[in-house]
A = this chain, B = another copy of it.
């Protein structure tokens, strides 16, 4: 821990730090990232809050950004859209949060006022949506500015655990809303989830809110499948041999699954989902796709299915928070590695080699007692 970190820990008391800089993970074009000095964010608009980050994590999307796949992210951007922290400053228009409040930062920024927000589609907010670590600076830093704070922060519960709660920033609502809710998982259903990475596992955990009779987990990696087993998967299929769809159809006696959740983002995994969805079933896409896929409408036109897409809206975060607090969901299970924030370069290496490292979610902590 550096001297600066010590100082910052001290600053968790109301006494504000006088420093005007901070450390942050900055994107410098495809393949390039650095942990470097940046100016501390300040209030720009009446709805803003500045949050001192205590815990953050890395998302698969951050890896996509680093590959240069997300053109909206430009050189100089501080990455990160997940985090827990303490409110340091608030604008005059913020009514729900005060300096000193501990908060969960949502990956989606919501003005709450536009037509999309009124329809609970915060993902398409006309003044927000996914902007953190994308079109504005993010949370893999010591401080972050959160616009539309009233719509974009959630109170951290008194009895909460930061490692668990940071999963509410993105991964849990994403798996739940895009996979489970859109897939309309119901008691007694047979569900298949293609992809046992963090998002697929978040779908696996939250699918169990609705008591499906069977959850089939499909992945190329036996280690991840083994984790899925401990998370409640009832059947594991390693798809390396290209016969995953056949196996699912055999398992279901030719019927297919009620719900197929795509949690990878590739044509091949979407193809498995198409092949296994039962007549009357739902195919819920969660994966981020970079190319078109072939949709077999010549087979599906008369199958009474629904295919859904969704960027997480984070409208279910308050509900997920209740379920976590009730003990029915333990998201800290997803955490495999822990780093100090100033070791974030190493954390990215570990997360980037997720399969080899057995990494799921990697916790980043700014120093000091939590």
- In the complex, A176→B310 CA distance in Å? 26
- Do A292 and B301 touch across chains, with their CB atoms under 8 A apart? no
- Do A311 and B304 touch across chains, with their CB atoms under 8 A apart? yes
- In the complex, A124→B255 CA distance in Å? 12
Partner of A280, one of B113, B119, B302: B119
Partner of A319, one of B111, B187, B308: B187
Q: Does A151 contact B (CB under 8 A)?
A: yes
Partner of A306, one of B121, B187, B292, B307: B307
Could you show 23 A-B contacts with beta carbons less than 8 Å apart? A46-B46, A46-B93, A92-B92, A112-B112, A113-B151, A116-B279, A118-B318, A124-B280, A187-B328, A188-B320, A209-B211, A210-B211, A211-B326, A214-B326, A234-B326, A285-B297, A288-B301, A289-B298, A291-B297, A302-B311, A304-B309, A304-B311, A305-B308
Partner of A211, one of B186, B307, B328: B328
- Do B298 and A291 touch across chains, with their CB atoms under 8 A apart? yes
**Complex interface: chain B residues within 8 A of A229 (CB):** none
- In the complex, A297→B294 CA distance in Å? 10
Which of A95, A150, A187 gathers the greatest number of chain B CB atoms within 10 Å? A187
**Complex interface: chain B residues within 8 A of A319 (CB):** 186-188
Rounded to whole Å, the gap between the CB of A196 and the closest CB of chain B is 19
Write the chain B residue with the least CB distance to A122.
B118
Contact flags A88-99 to B (C-beta < 8 A → 1, else 0): 000011011000
- In the complex, A279→B117 CA distance in Å? 12
**Complex interface: chain B residues within 8 A of A46 (CB):** 46, 92-93
- Do A120 and B121 touch across chains, with their CB atoms under 8 A apart? no
Q: Does A323 contact B (CB under 8 A)?
A: yes
- Do B301 and A289 touch across chains, with their CB atoms under 8 A apart? yes
Rounded to whole Å, the gap between the CB of A191 and the closest CB of chain B is 12
Contact flags A310-335 to B (C-beta < 8 A → 1, else 0): 11010100111111011011000000
Within 8 A of B (CB), among A312-370: 313, 315, 318-323, 325-326, 328-329
- Do A279 and B150 touch across chains, with their CB atoms under 8 A apart? no
Measured CB to CB, the residues of A under 8 A from B are: 46-47, 92-93, 95-96, 111-113, 115-121, 123-124, 150-151, 182, 186-188, 208-214, 234, 265, 270, 279-280, 285, 287-298, 300-311, 313, 315, 318-323, 325-326, 328-329
Per assembly, the copies of the chain total 4
Write the chain B residue with the least CB distance to A96.
B113
**Complex interface: chain B residues within 8 A of A111 (CB):** 95
A188-B319, A291-B297 are known contacts; what are 14 more A-B pairs with Cβ within 8 Å? A92-B92, A112-B118, A113-B151, A119-B280, A120-B120, A188-B322, A210-B210, A210-B211, A211-B326, A285-B301, A289-B298, A293-B295, A293-B297, A295-B295
- In the complex, A107→B369 CA distance in Å? 49
- Do A93 and B96 touch across chains, with their CB atoms under 8 A apart? no
**Complex interface: chain B residues within 8 A of A92 (CB):** 46, 92-93
- In the complex, A50→B312 CA distance in Å? 37
Contact A305-B298, Cβ < 8 Å, known A186-B319, A326-B188: no
Rounded to whole Å, the gap between the CB of A170 and the closest CB of chain B is 13
**Complex interface: chain B residues within 8 A of A279 (CB):** 116, 121, 124
Which of A47, A303, A311, A326 gathers the greatest number of chain B CB atoms within 10 Å? A326
**Complex interface: chain B residues within 8 A of A95 (CB):** 111, 113
Rounded to whole Å, the gap between the CB of A176 and the closest CB of chain B is 9
